[in-house]
Structure 1
Amino acid sequence: MTTAVTRREPRLYVKKFGGTSLGSLARIEAVAEKLTEAHRLGEQQVVVCSAMAGETNRLYTLAQQLDRNASPRELDMLASTGEQVSIALLAIALQKRGINARSLLAAQIPIHTSENHGSAAIEQVDPRYLQQLLQAGIVPVIAGFQGINASGDITTLGRGGSDTSAVALAAALQADECQIFTDVDGVFTTDPAIEPAARRLNAIRFNEMLALAQNGAKVLHPDSVATAQRCRVPLRVLSSFTQGCGTLIVEDLPSSAAIVGIAIAHHQALLTKAVEAVNHTFRHQMQQLLQHCDIAFESSATTTDVWFVVGQQHIPLLLTAMERQPERIPINCQSSLTKLSLVGNVTSSFTSISKALAQMLDGEGINVKLSHWSAATLSVWVDEANADRAVRVLHHGFGLNKV
């Protein structure tokens, strides 16, 4: 995906700032101050920007008001302008402070992607132009979330695309770190808004961070974590608004606790079918239907039933699609569920962890609707009304509030 360049000194950091960090001129000025201070300390910096908070949604809304079936190519052309605004404003703010900054669209680097509009994958980053700028003392300020395909069209990378842009650039430049600046000061053991005793983790392994991201933690998009792991790019999550060392995400760390965090995914729906009616045809039929509707899902079969979990917001679309099938698909649907995922080295202590989890929730009268496990996660689904209480019970019970 990338073309490597020779390592150099001083240390090089790729720094990504999200929409909240750039949501107003005052916040852009604050980011410029942070970058200026680092520049004066001798850091080499490549900056990646998202659009200002709310801008991408505003642009998509304008397009929908004209045509709900607007072409994906034109939607990418439209959506990509949000980042163009933020990089130009940040470059202006840096230049005002005496920093030689240059705003760049992804096509000017270039960042090559697949053909898919709206969900393109980065295929290659050519770092040579950026290397020239860095050698000349210029700070590149790059539009995230976008690239250019073989046809010469602008593409966008989908949700979390700016994080992925930053990681791909860091890999191509062999940066010392890729730093993701956001509105929280690191990765926490769980959502601090639910459990005030949640702790910031100083460091976490890639596979654990990926499991947290895939199961509901919002701090990083799973694609960016997977890319960083594959390219061996150290990641660090930092706050745009406060000082601190954040959370470092790397491949190898000393042994840690069996459970390092609890990920939370709200608004889930569970679809089940009893085993006497289960067969391979049914499961295949449901998978095809969900894929046709472009609905993400989890699925598995047990000795008693087969189940699918989807986002609750997709149920009306799914039910409509099921009604259009030649044969009715009888299935039980439970909505208003929350998925809680214990993340860590689950496999090594699965029996004791699952037993402890069941005892903790049973003791609080919290019914588990479904459980599922993998090498790095043990997930349970509970009623939405009990979710926050379950998080606090599990967080305390597994000692995540302790340093």
Structure 2
Amino acid sequence: RKLKHLEFDEMLEMAGAGSKVLALRSVEFARNHNVPIHVRSSFTWEQGTWVTSEVRKGEKNMEDPIISGVVHDAGDAKITVLGVPDQPGVSAALFEPLANANVNVDMIVQNTSTAGTTDISFTLPKTDVAVAQPIVEKIAKQVGAKGVTNDSNIAKISLVGAGMKSSPGIAAKMFRVLADNKVNIEMISTSTIRISVVVAAPMLETAVRALHTAFDLDSGEEYSAPLPERK
């Protein structure tokens, strides 16, 4: 469905999560200089989607969680370092060489420490795996980790909307919808207006369709959930 309006921050999150509508740098430039963006078809005179810094007209409460869209990206892979010693400096030793090699790391998850070791998983573009894998394997040996695995058969799904962090019900609903559709969540990452999960690539279409339906994103209206009552 067509969105009438998006705020710059929402469009930035969508672009960063894998939406192919606008380049991330172009949205950053427009936001920094407060230049409205009109995304529309060049074949008609119909209005498209406006991306601005203005609050939506008629919005009753700026803190109401509003879901603007579901974004998916099947271009990432996941690398996991197993049995990493749980001690200061290990994460820096792992990610500094990756940064120096211009590897773009996205989501990072570290498991709860068990018997003095932990697992560290992160996602990155599939195109960077060939560069990242030998670096990670080298560091894993240096820090005494038990091994390294990678999985290219994953997909990232992101729910984007203003004010999502103010209501725990949005995340809970997303996770329930995925569970009801037998979609296993491998990783979770959040920001103020985005919730991202990593799932198995074969379940991508099922998950995206289910989330669209659950949050009324096929109806032409933004989904707005009430804030929980304070007791």
Provide the C-alpha distance between the structure 2 equivalents of 1:292 and 1:276, rounded to a whole number of angstroms. Answer: 21
Q: CA contact under 8 A between 2:185 and 2:198: conserved in structure 1?
A: yes
Does residue 292 of the first structure (1) align with residue 110 of the second (2)? no
1:382–1:363: structure 2 CA closer, same or farther, 3 Å change rule?
A: same
Structure 2 gaps, min length 5: 113-118, 221-231
Structure 1: distance between partners of 2:11 and 2:123: 22
2:120 is equivalent to residue 318 of structure 1: no
Separation of aligned partners in 1, 2:49 and 2:68: 13
TM-score by length of structure 2 reads 0.80
SS in 2 for 1:314: helix
Distance 1:286 1:373, change over 3 A: same
Q: Verify: 1:398 aligned to 2:212, yes or no.
A: no
Residue in 1 aligned with 2:198? 381
> Residues 302, 234 of structure 1: CA spacing in aligned structure 2 closer, same or farther, 3 A cutoff?
same
SS of alignment partner, residue 396 of structure 1:
helix
For the 8 Å contact 1:338–1:384, the answer to whether it is kept is yes
Q: CA deviation at 1:226?
A: 1.2
- Measured after TM superposition, the shift of residue 302 of structure 1 is 4.2
Q: CA deviation at 1:370?
A: 0.7
Partner residue, 1:61 = none
Work out the CA distance in 2 between the residues paired with 1:303 and 1:337: 19
In structure 1, what is the equivalent of residue 85 of structure 2? 277
Equivalent residue in structure 2 for 1:347, among 149, 161, 165: 165
Contact 1:367–1:382, Cα closer than 8 Å, also in 2: yes
User: Which residue identity is paired with 2:187?
Assistant: L
- Matching of residues 223-302 of structure 1 within 5 Å: 223-254=25-56, 255=59, 258-273=66-81, 277-302=85-110
Asked if 1:219 is matched to 2:24, the reply is no
Distance 1:243 1:250 in 2: 20
Deviation at 1:207, TM superposition (A): 0.7
Count of equivalent residues: 204
Q: Distance in 1 between matches of 2:80 and 2:14?
A: 25
TM-aligned CA deviation for residue 253 of structure 1 = 2.2
Which structure has more relative contact order (CA 8 Å, sep 6+)? It is 2
Pairwise CA distance, 1:243? 3.1
Give the TM-score taking structure 1 as reference length.
0.47
- Give the Cα separation in 2 of the matches to 1:371 and 1:299: 8
- Mapped to 2, the partners of 1:218 and 1:277 lie a distance apart of 39
Greater fraction helix = 1
**Alpha-carbon displacement from aligned partner over 1:244-263 (angstroms, at most 9, x marks no partner):** 21111111222376211111
Tell me how far apart the structure 1 counterparts of residues 197 and 137 of structure 2 sit (CA, whole Å): 30
Stretch deviating more after TM superposition (314-323 or 333-342) = 314-323
Task: Quote the residue 1:357 is aligned against.
Answer: 174
| 1:145-160 superposed matches below 5 A | none
Return the offset for 1:264: 1.2
Match of 2:115 in 1: none
Taking the TM superposition and a 5 Å limit, the aligned residue runs for 1:324-343 are 327=142, 330-343=147-160
- Where does structure 1 lack aligned partners over 5 or more consecutive residues? 1-198
Instruction: Report 1:93-108 matches (<5 A).
Output: none
The AA in structure 1 aligned to 2:41 is: S
- Per the TM alignment, residue 202 of structure 1 is displaced from its structure 2 partner at its CA by 1.0
The structural deviation recorded for 1:288 is 1.5
1:3: which partner in 2? none
Contact 2:38 2:51 in 1 (8 A): yes
